[in-house]
Amino acid sequence: MTLLMFPIGQCLGTHFTGAAESQVQQVRLGSEIVELTVDEFAVWALAHGLTDDSSSWERSRIVALLADSEITNGAILIDRLLTRSLLAEADLDSPTDFAARHRLLPLHLGLGNTSETPAMFRSGTTELALTGMTRTLYDLWLWGHLSPNLLIACKEHDADPTAVLAALHSLLAPSAACLDLAVQEF
């Protein structure tokens, strides 16, 4: 069993509530805005993955990276974020439960492919491609948010949910997409 850790929600940035020392990080989770402490946000942000690291993004990897930081209670923070639905674990051997509870939202601009690399589709800004993906993943990334959940989106775009989950950190790390809570089927 391979359990990958994923952040859920869209980052809305820092919010100062008065004095410079009283700041929280806001994340949109479904239709709610939730506030995270600086340490909670660091754990949540790390769960996105690292853009220069393609290894499996499991709980133990996050805890190990946090051990080298100033955050001394990483495992406790992970549990707290799991309880608040800001983190979720997905079993690659059985991805349907995770995929039915979450959906994928695009955050970058779609840039399409190029004549030099027609099989690689890109997203980013108007001036810079920030991530590349296969045609299947690109179609899911572009249109999956119109489906109530990731499982239905995978079916509609002939995408294997296991392969999609295995590739998600390549979209989350550069903020090309975010995961959100599923919505009711239309």
Give the CA count within 13 Å in the CB-facing half-sphere of 85.
15
Question: Residue 52: its pLDDT value, please?
Answer: 75
Last residue of a domain, one of 30, 64, 93: 93
Residue 88 CA to residue 99 CA, distance in Å, equals: 11
pLDDT in tens, 24-49: 899 999 999 999 999 999 999 999 99
What does the pLDDT read at residue 17? 76
Q: Which of 71, 93, 115 is the last residue of a domain?
A: 93
User: 186 in a domain, yes or no?
Assistant: no
Flag residues of the chain having pLDDT under 70: 19-21, 54, 186
Residues 6+ apart with CB under 8 A from 5: 47, 57, 58, 59, 61, 62, 78, 87, 88, 89
Contact status, residue 185 vs residue 148, Cβ threshold 8 Å: yes
Supply the CATH number for residue 50's domain.
Answer: 3.90.930
What domain range is 62 assigned to? 3-93
Q: Is residue 158 in some structural domain? A: yes
pLDDT, position 128: 92
Specify the length of the chain in residues.
186
